[in-house]
Structure formats: C-alpha cells, structure tokens
Amino acid sequence: LEDLCQHAGSLDLQSEGQELVVSFLWSFGTLHWVPSGAGLLVKLLRRAEALIEEFGAHRTVRLLTALAKLSSEVPPSGEGKASTALVSLAAALAGNVAILADRMSAQEVGIASWALATLQPRGWKKVLRALFERSQSVMEDFNWWSIAHIEYASWRLAAAGKGAEGSLLEALSERCVLEAERVRQESDAFQDGPAQAVAELAPWASTEGLAPGARVLVFGPGRCVRRALRSWGAEVVPWKRFAVGRYAGAATQAWPPEGPFDACALRYPDSADAFELALHAAAASLPPGAPLWVYGDIREGALSATRVLRGLFELKHAIKERGDARIFIAHRGQAEARAPLGVWARTSAIDLGSGAQEWTSFPGLFAAGLLDVMTGFLLERLAGAAEAGDALWSTRKRPHCLDFACGTGVLAAGLLRHLPRARLCLLDADAVALEAARQNLPSAEAVVLSDGLAGLADAIGGDGADGAAVAPLFDLIVTNPPVHRGHPDDLRVLLRLLVEAPAWLAPGGELWLVAQEHIPVGRLFALAARELPPPAARLVVTQALPTADGRFVAWRASLEANAEASAAGALPAKRPQKARSTAAASSAEAPVPNAANQANGPRKRPRQGGASADAGVDGAEPAAATGKRRRGAAGT
C-alpha cells in the first residue's frame, strides 16, 4: 500500500475526476489508515474540494463518511497541511449536504448525519437540522442503521446545545419497533431455511445400511430436523453448543453426549473454526462409514465445509441445493478425530493494563476469545468512572458484578484491575466459551450457562421462606452484547437484557455496555422502558460516550424507580450537574437525566416456570446451577 501510494503521490492529480479521488479517500477511510507522509492525502483532499460543485448526494455522503473515519488518523487541526485540508473539505461537504438534503435517500440522511456529528465542521448544527427535517419524509424507509445514526447525531447535537425534537425521537422509536421485528423475522428465516431443506430431503431414508432405530446425533438448532428423524424412527440425541430458551437443558454442552452413534446431522455454524471443532467432536463418536449430513447457508460460508470435511469424511454424493441452503452427504473416513475438547484449547497472552497474562480460548469464539477494540474501549471508560469514584460500584469494598455474554471473560478480567475484590458472575449462552472462562477466571463466584438472564435465579439464587427464588443483586452489569444470531443481525438479546436488567440491579446499580454506532441502543432503551411501566424500576441512560471517530459508543445507564421519562425515551436536553467521570473528558456526553436510583429493598423473583422452546421436542430439563452460558446470537 505504501508503495502504491508513493507512486500515486508522484502523479498529477489535478486532471483526475470524481471517481478516482472519492475511491482513494473512501479506501483510506475503510482501512482507517493513511499513507506515511501527507503528500498524497493533501493532494486528494484539495482535489476533492476543487470538484465539490460536481458531487451529487451519493458521492458527497461517501466522502463525508470517509473523512469521519479518517478524523482519528489525521493530526488535530492546526498541526499540518492534511488536517487543514480535511477541515476545509468537511466544511465544503457540509454546504453540499445543506443544498442536497431534500434529495437524499433514507440511508444517505442517516450516514450523513452520523458523519457530520462526528466531524462537526463549520455550520454542522444547522445542516443537521435540515437532515432531521428530511428524516420525517423518509422515515418509512429507515433501516435500523439509519435510526441509530440519526439518534447518534441527535445526542451529539444535544451535548453541544439542543438536540432533536421529542417528536422525531418518538418517530424513531416507532420505526425501531418495526425494524426490530423485520430483523427478527429475517433472522428466524435464515436459521430455519437449511434445517427445513434437509428435513424435506430426508437423506436418512435413502442411506444404505441405515434403518429405523438408528441412534442419530443432531448438532445445533433445527427442531424440524429432529422431528423428521423421529418420525422416520430414529433415536435422536440432541447436542447444542448454545443455550436457547429459559433453560439450557441437558443437550447444551461443550462436547457431545457419549457415543457411539450410527449417524450425525450437523448444522453448519457461523464460522469455519466452529465447524471444524463440531465436526471433530461428531467424528469422535462415529464408526467408519457412518453417514453425516451437513446443512447450512452459503451466506455463512457453508461451501467451505468441503475443505474441512476432507480426511475425516468422504463426500460420495453431489451437494444438494435448496435456494441458499446447501446439504452435504458424507461418510466417516479413517482419519483420527481430535478429541476431547481440551486438545482444542488455544493459549495466548493478553494485556489488560497490568502486563501480559496467559489466556485460554477455543475455536469459533468472538475476537478469537481475546481482547477486541470495543471491549478495550469499554474498559477504558469503566476505568475512568472507577478512578473518579462517581459510581456506587466503584466505592464498594466488594462490588457484585455480572459480565453478561462474557465469552472467555476478558471484560470481567479487565474489571478486576480496578476492582480487585469484586465478586464476579460470568454468564454466556456458549458452553465452549464458558469452558475457557472457567480457566481464565477461577476466582469467579458463579459461571452461568443461560440464554439471557432467565437462568440466573436457578444458578445463583437461594430459596426464600415462601419458596420463591431469591438471588443476589448486582452493583454493576457490563457487556459487549451480541447483535447477531450466527450470520444475520438480531437485536433480541440486547433488547431483552434492557428489559430484564433492572430486576437484577441493586439500588444505585448501573449497566454499562458498548456497541457499534449503527446499533440503535438509545431506541432500544426506550422500547424496554415501554415494557416496564411505573412503578417498575427501569434503566435511564446517564452517559453515551463515543470514540473519537464515532465508530463505537459506550452506554452508561442507572436504575430510576418511578421514572417520569417518556416511553419515547428522548434524552433530556439538560442535566442537573456536570458528570465527574474523567472518562468523558475526551468524548461528547449524552445529557444526563435526573436519576432517582431508588429501588425498594431486596426483591424476590418467582422461579421461571417455562421450559425451553425445544423442551417439548427434546425433553430439556432445567440446567444445573454451575456451568451455564449465553444465547446463540453470535455477537460476542
């Protein structure tokens, strides 16, 4: 890249048109990288400004987006030609947006609002007002990215003076309801498609040497597959890596139940690493020649299954196609499977601020089970609050903390650096991730395998005098939450957390989370509040802390009992006092509402009586109170 850019910098760009200039800057923004030396970048920025009157809405927005992403890579204003050129171009593009706002699409309005709020060029507030007016006309075309971008711009504007009108935020909330439902339906259809395809094909019925009564291992979700196999006469043994529903169930475990099995049906997971682990686990319990049916979607990489199958299994049939679903029929080969789970452990070193420490992970985990940039940013913001002492959890001797969707425990381990005596509870839906978390944090008081917070009462609660489950309350809940379910987007885990978390927070307790800028977290807080009408305690956002380039936002929320805030969830334009957290020093804050932080003493929760959605099929029993995990929505 450096060589290419050095060559390009030697060329005369003054005769180049829009496409080359925009493509270069867009590429730099996408990479979050600029070439060493300012020569080429300055040439491109100046050439773009010279062409400014030729840019339509699409290229104007692309350039604004690129500049916003580059803003953290270029020295601050006044420290060089590149910075001066970037500031000048950003102001010129803002003028373009003001002229073109009435012609912009919904997605262009959203991304332009985010970019302007991140860059804050001359005149940005007035231009944002024009985009907010345009939003009302294109609201029905907003996707959830656009909703999040408009909201982001609103609270950045609020931090600088006055935010969007409550009517716009309320309209965004209503649109978010529809978008969340659309995303849910698309996620369900994506998950169900391959399973329905293999159930209809029923390859077991035509497999030579396999007869009713065969013992078949079924990996992953797919109720219709299990039903079809049982209908054919198989003895079905389910195995799930991820907990689904209120109870994890006996089928949810990191390694499959004891074999041997006569055959296996395996849902392709969301990564090649996770597939390889599952494939070896299944192969370890299958005799030579045993059939394997792999089914998945090409959009999640299912076609790569052929590469991983080699050696362990032999493909003897053509790949079956049903829309985007693919079905592979193979037979167990002679190669030895890697087993048990322990041989898959990966040991690395991570530095959470106190020097390198040994860290265990397994294949198929988010960020390879190590420290990712979003978790690192959240830890920085938490450290600022802890040092400032402006949170109740930071002043307690032994605060009770929950790491929700903990993965391998990176976030919880980072907390211990500032809260060395914290009582930790780790919760995830992934049984494999929790195996690593147990090794990384042996001091944790509880490790819970659960799809959401539902499993906490049975895992760590005791029995009250009236037989109700009484569980400890948390001073702090932290999370880098999943916003995907495998490959597709899915906001259900996050929304459910915002609804259920107030019941698990102690008086004065807080929830801290981090998300990408295109996740409509503020609107999800608003929707959660609708499900918790007064007098129920609910969460109120007190700070929203973005990164310098606007890519991620750390959200801080506290309990507010009998909250008077509108269910629309508009952030108040004024705050009662200046927040003392040093974490906010370099980031714009969302306005902080008056938080009552009143919770009425210990609360009792009735035992969860519902079984998993799969209980009727698999006979899942409530999971034991030790090793539990997060939901199968991949995001963390």
CATH number for the domain spanning 478: value is 3.40.50.150
pTM, to two decimals: 0.84
Do 157 and 215 reside in the same domain of the chain? no
Residue in 472, 449, 500, 462 with CA at minimum distance from that of residue 400: 472
Q: Which of 113-117, 332-336, 376-380, 593-597 has the lowest mean pLDDT?
A: 593-597
Residue type at 7? H
Question: Cα torsion for 388, 391, 397, 398, to the nearest 10°?
Answer: -130
H or E element that contains 216 = strand 215-219
Q: What is the mean pLDDT of residues 422-430?
A: 95
- Which of 316, 341, 366 represents a domain boundary (last residue)? 341
Residue in 554, 545, 512, 515 with CA at minimum distance from that of residue 635: 515
User: Does residue 203 fall inside a structural domain?
Assistant: yes
* Residue 592 pLDDT level (bands cut at 50, 70, 90): very low
In sequence order, the 6+-apart residues with CB closer than 8 A to the CB of 73 are: 28, 32, 33, 34
User: Does residue 320 fall inside a structural domain?
Assistant: yes
Do 110 and 227 reside in the same domain of the chain? no
* Residue 293 pLDDT level (bands cut at 50, 70, 90): very high
> How does pLDDT run across 152-209, given as a tens digit for each residue?
999 898 888 776 678 899 999 999 999 999 999 998 888 899 999 999 999 999 999 9
Do β-strands 446-449 and 462-463 pair in parallel, antiparallel, or remain unpaired? unpaired
Specify the length of the chain in residues.
636
Range of the domain at 104: 1-164
Q: Which of 141-150, 363-372, 379-388, 549-558 has the lowest mean pLDDT?
A: 363-372
3-state SS assignment for residue 89: helix
Find where tokens 């609360």 sit.
603
Q: What is the mean pLDDT of residues 23-41?
A: 89
Q: What is the mean pLDDT of residues 443-453?
A: 93
Contact (CB, 8 A) for 294 and 286: no
Do 146 and 214 reside in the same domain of the chain? no
Burial of 209 (0-12, 13-18, 19+ CB in 10 A): exposed
Residues pairing with 403 in the sheet: 426, 478
User: Does residue 380 fall inside a structural domain?
Assistant: yes
Q: What is the mean pLDDT of residues 491-511?
A: 93
Residue type at 146? S
Do 153 and 208 reside in the same domain of the chain? no
DSSP calls for 357-426: EEEEE-TT-GGGGS--HHHHHHHHHHHHHHHHT-SHHHHSSS-EEEEET-TTTHHHHHHHHH-TT-EEEE
- Total number of domains constituting the chain: 3
